[in-house]
Amino acid sequence: MRKIVVPTDFSENAFNALKYACQIFKYEHCDIFILHAYADEVYKLGLQLERSELETLKKDTLQKSDSALQDVLKAIREYSPNPDHHYKTLSAFGTLTDEINDLVNAENMDIVVMGTRGKTDDRTITFGSNTIQVLKYVQCPVMAIPSGYAFQVPKKMLFPTNYLIPYKRRELKLLCEMADSYRAAITMLYIDPVEHLSLRQEDNMKFLKECLYKPKLQFDTGPQGEKAGVILDYIGKHDMQLLVMVNSRHSHVEDMLYPSTIDKLGLELRIPFLVLQNLAR
């Protein structure tokens, strides 16, 4: 049983991510948790309130959240009446990252699927602040879906790596099964100034091959340059449908998430972005 959490702020972007989750895992038995964390909106609205008034606001916001979640539930069941998908809705008074992590730990979640941007839908940025926090700090794989992205069968997946980061077998199994569902090919793109692999890198490459044994694996080397730019250029030239990276200190993910790099490159990632976590769980 695949366990998926899809956070929502009731925006079109959030619902689009929910639709993508239903599509990408349509061949699997899934428990899909639709989560709305509402602490930020309560505190924003209650800046000038007394404690007693704040408690009333919390109750009102909870009721509105529960009602909106039922609307989302009705809409997704109409969109994807998959008998193998079971939905649960949750309203939580807390920050989004904390509530997702609590749910990940309590339910042993496999993956988070969310939009790259929320209600504000600021088209001058690639990732909204909530998405960046979730990508960087949530303790399970996170897939971010670009605004307005229409589902495409992910036949070609790109996995940039320097083969130095330890990989988690469980998370590679998730990727392996996703790719196998669509008979996809995964391209391992090596981006590093050192041309020859060390013994550690060779062992990590061997581990990847052992874990990703179902899909077709291809190996390529990217040119030297700004890593984010190299990755985006490769995506465009080879028509990739999914980008996969590992979140770890000094990994390529940093180049994709830091706003200064995004602004400098004019980054606009137009395909789903799956981040595997190298964090304690």
| pLDDT 10s digits, 222-251 | 887 778 788 889 999 999 999 998 886 555
How far apart are alpha carbons 125 and 123 in whole angstroms? 5
Percent of the chain with pLDDT over 70: 86
How many of the other CB atoms lie within 10 Å of CB of 241? 17
Percent of the chain with pLDDT over 90: 62
Q: Tell me the fold of 2-145.
A: Rossmann fold (3.40.50)
Task: Kindly tell me the sign of the dihedral angle through the C-alpha atoms of 170, 177, 110, 160.
Answer: positive
Which residues are CB-neighbours of 95 under 8 A, at least 6 positions away?
37, 39, 40
pLDDT at residue 257, rounded to an integer: 53
For residue 97, the SS3 value is helix
> How much is the pTM?
0.88
Q: Average pLDDT of 30-47?
A: 88
How far apart are alpha carbons 69 and 265 in whole angstroms? 37
pLDDT at residue 193, rounded to an integer: 73
**Over the stretch 10-35, which tens digit does the pLDDT of each residue have?**
999 999 999 999 999 999 999 999 99
* Minimum mean pLDDT range among 145-149, 222-226, 271-275: 222-226
Which residues are CB-neighbours of 103 under 8 A, at least 6 positions away?
5, 33, 35, 90, 109
**What's the chain's average pLDDT?**
87
Assess whether pLDDT exceeds 80 at residue 211. yes
Output the CA torsion 25→65→73→128 (10° steps). -30
For residue 112, the SS3 value is strand
Assess whether pLDDT exceeds 90 at residue 44. no
Considering the chain, tell me which residue range(s) the CATH 3.40.50.620 domain(s) occupy: 2-145, 156-271
- Residue 25 phi, psi (nearest 5): -110, 30
Q: Domain 156-271 - what CATH class?
A: alpha beta
**Over the stretch 116-144, which tens digit does the pLDDT of each residue have?**
865 555 554 556 678 888 888 898 999 99
Output the CA torsion 76→79→82→85 (10° steps). -20
Assess whether pLDDT exceeds 50 at residue 265. no
Q: 80 to each of 49, 62, 90, 131, 155, how far by Cα in Å? A: 42, 26, 20, 25, 22
Assess whether pLDDT exceeds 50 at residue 83. yes
pLDDT at residue 80, rounded to an integer: 95
How far apart are alpha carbons 272 and 224 in whole angstroms? 24
pLDDT at residue 54, rounded to an integer: 82
Range of 52-56, 67-71, 157-161 with top mean pLDDT: 67-71
Beta bridge partners of 34: 6, 89
* Minimum mean pLDDT range among 54-68, 122-136, 189-203, 252-266: 252-266
**Over the stretch 154-202, which tens digit does the pLDDT of each residue have?**
999 999 988 988 888 999 999 999 999 999 999 999 987 777 899 999 9
* Minimum mean pLDDT range among 72-76, 103-107, 245-249: 245-249
pLDDT at residue 253, rounded to an integer: 56
pLDDT at residue 46, rounded to an integer: 62
Angle 51-79/12-24 helices, nearest 10 degrees?
Answer: 40
